[in-house]
Chain A
Amino acid sequence: AQKVTQAQTEISVVEKEDVTLDCVYETRDTTYYLFWYKQPPSGELVFLIRRNSFDEQNEISGRYSWNFQKSTSSFNFTITASQVVDSAVYFCALSVVSGGSNYKLTFGKGTLLTVNP
């Protein structure tokens, strides 16, 4: 069975602080994909990044960076110099192949990030 744990239910920071959102996953599959999505107050989930299980390179995109470590089954997300517009719920998700062409996508419960001015 697959599982995604986002232990931080809520995080509150002051603008310009750096913040890291934790994601720990469980799977017995050797091939899988990890995702991060952002859900602003408008409700729509926005895709941020995808990483496959064979690529452990960290990635940086502007103020966003992701640290993938298979040894600890973690895929953490860091926002540098946070801004008020970063306030949202962030979801980590795990996708594995399940039964031929089907697949199973499991979401964590999300972390509510509030960035205060």
Chain B
Amino acid sequence: DGGITQSPKYLFRKEGQNVTLSCEQNLNHDTMYWYRQDPGQGLRLIYYSQIVNDFQKGDIAEGYSVSREKKESFPLTVTSAQKNPTAFYLCASSNRGRYNSPLHFGNGTRLTVT
């Protein structure tokens, strides 16, 4: 079945360390997204990519970095510059990135930084 795979499901890191979250999709979607979810805050867009080797900042890109070397993969690195990295991270994709296309989401990665 097609879908989005995020790994790992839970991730623990020490403060000051960079950490990379994996996101892979086999839906043949062009556009991929990273969202951050905090309790009671809804979803906030970190980065998105509409094509390989290109990506755009979302609303809260500071302290994060991404790459898009393959259409299927869109890893997110949470750097030590991110002040409050503990959160639930969701990866999503959509067909052609059209504004009327529903997003397909992965199961998320819960990152805890202590």
Identify the stretch in B12-20, B60-68, B75-83, B105-113 within 8 Å (CB) of chain A at 4 or more residues.
B105-113
Partner of B40, one of A42, A105, A109: A109
**Interface SS of chain A:** strand
| Interface membership of chain A positions 18-48, coded 1 if the CB is closer than 8 angstroms to chain B and 0 otherwise | 0000000000000001010100001111110
Q: Given the complex, which residues of A lie within 8 Å of B106, measured CB to CB?
A: 44
* Interface status of A96 (Cβ within 8 A of chain B): yes
Q: Given the complex, which residues of A lie within 8 Å of B56, measured CB to CB?
A: 102
Using CB atoms, name the residue of chain A closest to B96.
Answer: A101
**Interface residues of B, count at CB 8 A:** 23
Interface contact A45-B90, CB-CB below 8 Å: yes
Within 8 A of A (CB), among B49-102: 50, 56, 88, 90, 92, 97-100, 102
Interface contact A108-B102, CB-CB below 8 Å: no
Distance (Å) between the CB of B6 and the closest chain A CB? 9
Q: Give complex CA distance A13, B100 in Å.
A: 32
Q: Give complex CA distance A52, B98 in Å.
A: 13
Distance (Å) between the CB of A116 and the closest chain B CB? 21
Q: Give complex CA distance A33, B99 in Å.
A: 8
Task: Give 5 nearest A-B pairs by CB, closest first.
Answer: A103-B99, A109-B42, A43-B108, A47-B102, A45-B105
Q: Which residues of B contact A (CB under 8 A)?
A: 40-45, 50, 56, 88, 90, 92, 97-100, 102-108, 110
